[in-house]
Amino acid sequence: MIVGIILALVVIYLTITYNSLVSIKNNVSKAWANIDVLLKQRNDELPKLIDTCKAYMAHESQTLESVISARMGVDAARQTQDVAGLGKAESALSASIGGLYAVAENYPDLKADQTFINLQQRITGLENQIADRREFYNDSVNNNNVRIAHFPDLIVAKLFNFEQASMLKFASEELKDVDVNARFKA
């Protein structure tokens, strides 16, 4: 009788722990999917911004090409779900978009163009949402990694092959203060 009760408690514990770990693991996947959606939206908006700028900035092709190249890097990392590569690609894209906005300062007609203004606001809004989702993703990853490392949950995690997830990390350049004067001179 006592052995049956102990066995039932172990089965209940294993079931509750397993279900909890599955839920946490799925939260990591959901957080990644949320980032993926926003990256895709931004990826779709950037060509429109580039096309709008091309009409005004014909001789600024290097700036436009750097945005295009960085955009392709983010898209490649997003499609392969390369968490480490995404951080690097995001840093490059942020820098190139900042350079594009800085160069746009030299074109009063472009700055006054309503399409440019709308696209700039849309991309800035997406950047803010992506930053929020990055934080949520890293929180989810942290919850996952802590939970599967805690005893006795780690026994269940190892038994059912739950793995640690990787945090989104960004290049050190993205963490530095922005030199506003240099951006306007670029």
Does residue 166 carry a pLDDT above 70? yes
Percent of the chain with pLDDT over 90: 27
Please, which pLDDT band fits residue 58 given cuts at 50, 70 and 90?
low
Model pLDDT for residues 77-129, shown as the tens digit of each residue: 888 888 878 888 888 888 888 888 877 777 777 777 777 788 888 888 888 89
Which domain, by its residues, includes 55? 2-185
Please, which pLDDT band fits residue 68 given cuts at 50, 70 and 90?
confident
What's the domain count of the chain?
A: 1
CATH number of domain containing 152: 1.20.1440.20
* 127 burial type by CB count under 10 A (0-12 exposed, 13-18 middle, 19+ buried): middle
pLDDT of residue 108: 74
Q: What's the pTM?
A: 0.70
Q: Which two tokens stand for residue 17?
A: 């722990």
Lowest mean pLDDT among 30-39, 98-107, 156-165, 173-182: 173-182
Alpha helices in the chain (DSSP H): 2-56, 61-80, 83-104, 108-112, 114-149, 153-159, 172-175, 180-185
**Largest distance between two CA atoms of the chain:** 85
pLDDT of residue 174: 52
Please, which pLDDT band fits residue 184 given cuts at 50, 70 and 90?
very low
